[in-house]
A and B are shown apart, each in its own frame.
Chain A
């Protein structure tokens, strides 16, 4: 379904992704974990063709996502929904207009049909009767739900979630996690979730991928992650400040780590 092969990405002197390869199975939820700055959000941008890798290939539904042809890329993008970290709702548009936008722009559906579909999408994310609200009138959790309704507006085959629970209280976070699981089960959508939230990752993931210094340091099921003896994974799971991943670096150590990641 998704095949990432030999992906490299560098910003200036810093290598973010270093020969990254993995695959996500159709209809499953794959969760990408890692510390801040490990290139998870960069990877999401590459998966939708909004950023080019320096090297490597991304295949989604057997298409190579990197292309210079905007029309071909847009045809692919219509099959992919994205939920952004900060929701990225259009603040001057109502909830209804936000969700209707991809349908208005990408389909020839009649306005009445679009209105019905907007209601359906809002029902699916548990926000019926909120069409008339502006995004700023909603809580962050509700904004995420509206953004999710917009992401699934075109009934995509795959949804990418960039930090779906960041900035949310535990209850809203749990609700979003359940929503992702439900949408995956009910609609059979393939999902790729980027998160720091280990609790929600464990609940929803079929497969977990842990990134460290631009490479995969663990790939497996939640049970396998709990049982692994890898000290790096253990440190990540337990949130220890002591271990192979250093939480505090001196300037010299930081510069050395940059050089090591460039090897």
Chain B
């Protein structure tokens, strides 16, 4: 009887055709400002789904709605065959949804290892009292979790040399990797990465791309990715969703999206390889005025 969820259960999903995540007609506005105007998308297990779009397109709002930080006014979110539209954030996480944040959101007072172990929090069963005495089951759980995290997360992401350092002392690239490690420690079914390579140099970006591909290939985790680095998106994504002003304007494989005339006209401006200029559309408008 194991207290830790096994990823095997998620890999052999009986609903093989059913996407792991299905977002249906999501409407979200803040006062009079519409962030999402009926967004529909799917993320399949073993796929890397990229969400692209200019700044302000609603990508992070969409992530926050999927995580449960924002409550959309309309629409449904289904995850692993279950309607989670009204489920609180922490419970969604416990169901297998892990994410990283655009601005690194590590606990700065804690070491790398403590940060990563917090990701395993939801998979432990002991309550505050048994955990307090650190007896029997709590201790066995803790030991097992620790060993598993060492092997599957710390060694896998090559951060073993920094595990006892305080996160505040690390470079930005390493902090992002620790954040990914913490999300992986949750053994998620869905991994949501908000701009995983933003602000990284070439080498760090390539490392991160390799880790994301390994995660997808070796663990069958569905990856949902927001990214401005078009080179990375075109290289690793199986499926691309283009968002603009809160609407999906294009869906398909990277090659389909890059030739989709609407996407090219509205957003890529014909030069899809370059990183997207923030708010290209708004700038064009400004010049026209």
A and B pair up: no
